[in-house]
């Protein structure tokens, strides 16, 4: 599996689970990436930043999914696909011209995600255990296995993903913007 994916909410689902956010100029985003606000636009988060949420698709300024949009409604390069495959490369004037947006599932307390690790699980103590914290690397589509700590991180691990196994873990966002 490439990229993170939403699994479930522990408790009540938020009223506003998604937000469409204009993609920063020249940014490449893929379904399953974690994004932040960067000067008001969506961009890859990387370590040490508070996250906004998880990219789940791409839409035009009118809210039409790119799969169903007319070619005149967007520019840039769009490759269709599912988690870890669907990619949009914004043009250098996306913020002012077509304003293509990432459909972002906003991070909320109690949210559970499945994420691949960027290295073999348990190479660093605790990366496959509940209660250890990890950050995302600059690619923003997986957890950085070597950052596993008991103290602080962008995500808290909840143990190995019981469905996918391997290098995949369940996690919950800890350091996030928290808008609803």
Cα-to-chain-centroid distance, residue 33: 3
pLDDT at 89: 98
Residue 94 class from Cβ within 10 Å (0-12 exposed, 13-18 middle, 19+ buried)?
A: buried
For the residues 1-15, what does the mean pLDDT come to? 86
Q: Which residues contact 54 (CB under 8 A, 6 or more apart)?
A: 4, 5, 6, 32, 33, 34, 35, 104, 105, 107, 113
Find out whether 98 and 59 touch, Cβ atoms under 8 Å: no
Tens of pLDDT, residues 19-72: 999 999 999 999 999 999 999 999 999 888 899 999 999 999 999 999 999 999
Tell me the helix, strand and coil percentages in the chain, rounded to 5.
5, 40, 55
At 2, the pLDDT band (50, 70, 90 cuts) reads confident
In this prediction, residue 130 has a pLDDT band, given cuts at 50, 70 and 90, of very high
Q: Is the pTM of this model over 0.75?
A: yes
Q: Which one-letter DSSP state was computed for residue 13?
A: P
Tokens 């379904």 belong to 31
At residue 51, the pLDDT reads 96
What integer best gives the mean pLDDT of the chain?
A: 93
User: Scanning the structure block, which residue is given the tokens 């919950």?
Assistant: 172
Residue 78: what are its φ and ψ, rounded to 5°? -120, 130
pLDDT digits (tens, 9 = 90+) for 94-108: 999 999 999 999 999
Phi, psi of 73 (to 5 degrees): -90, -10
pLDDT band at 84 (very low <50, low <70, confident <90, very high): low
Contact between 1 and 168 under an 8 Å Cβ cutoff? The reply is yes
Query: Buried b vs exposed e over 7-19: b needs ≥16 C-beta within 10 Å?
Result: beeeeeebeebeb
Residue 68: phi, psi to the nearest 5? -105, 0
């Amino acid at each position: 599996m490439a990229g993170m994916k939403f699994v479930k909410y522990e408790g009540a689902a938020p009223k506003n689970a998604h937000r469409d956010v204009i993609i920063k100029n020249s940014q490449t985003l893929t379904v399953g990436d974690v994004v932040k606000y960067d000067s008001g636009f969506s961009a890859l988060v990387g370590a040490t930043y508070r996250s906004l949420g998880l990219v789940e698709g791409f839409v035009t300024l009118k809210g039409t999914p790119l799969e169903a949009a007319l070619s005149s409604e967007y520019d840039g390069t769009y490759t269709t696909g599912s988690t870890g495959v669907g990619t949009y490369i914004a043009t250098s004037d996306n913020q002012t011209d077509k304003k293509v947006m990432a459909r972002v599932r906003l991070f909320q307390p109690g949210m559970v995600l499945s994420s691949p690790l960027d290295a073999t699980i348990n190479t660093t103590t605790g990366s496959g255990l509940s209660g250890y914290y990890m950050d995302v690397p600059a690619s923003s589509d997986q957890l950085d296995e070597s950052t596993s700590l008991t103290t602080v991180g962008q995500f808290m691990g909840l143990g190995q993903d019981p469905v996918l196994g391997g290098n995949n873990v369940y996690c919950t966002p800890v350091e996030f913007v928290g808008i609803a």
